[in-house]
């Protein structure tokens, strides 16, 4: 069960980092749609967020599975 809670905390940390990254680039997280003309800084922030969330999932969901805690809810 601890790994599931840690996973949630990790995801929140990733989101906070994404908000900070967007802000540093002069954008507001959640207001930019990807497509042609998307600023490089936004794409970089998105890549960092993706890598962070993948790291959280690999580490903590793997541990949760090993703990045998049952169902994991991902929103």
- Domains of the chain: which residue ranges? 2-67
Tens digit of each residue's pLDDT (9 = 90 or more) over 23-72: 999 999 989 887 888 999 999 999 999 999 999 999 888 776 666 655 55
State both tokens at 74. Answer: 């991902």
pLDDT for 75 beyond 90 = no
Distance of CA 60 to the CA centre of its chain: 13
Residue found by looking up tokens 């969901």 in the block:
61
Please give the pLDDT value at position 11.
95
Q: Which own/partner pairs from 56-59 qualify as long-range (CB within 8 Å, at least 24 positions apart)?
A: 56/7, 56/10, 56/11, 56/14, 57/7, 59/10
Please give the pLDDT value at position 36.
86
Please give the pLDDT value at position 56.
93
């Amino acid at each position: 069960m601890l790994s599931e809670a840690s996973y949630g905390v990790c995801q929140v940390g990733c989101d906070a980092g994404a908000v900070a990254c967007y802000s540093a680039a002069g954008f507001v997280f959640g207001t930019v749609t990807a497509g042609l003309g998307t600023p490089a800084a936004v794409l970089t922030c998105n890549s960092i967020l993706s890598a962070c969330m993948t790291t959280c999932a690999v580490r903590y969901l793997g541990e949760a599975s090993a703990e045998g805690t049952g169902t994991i809810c991902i929103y």
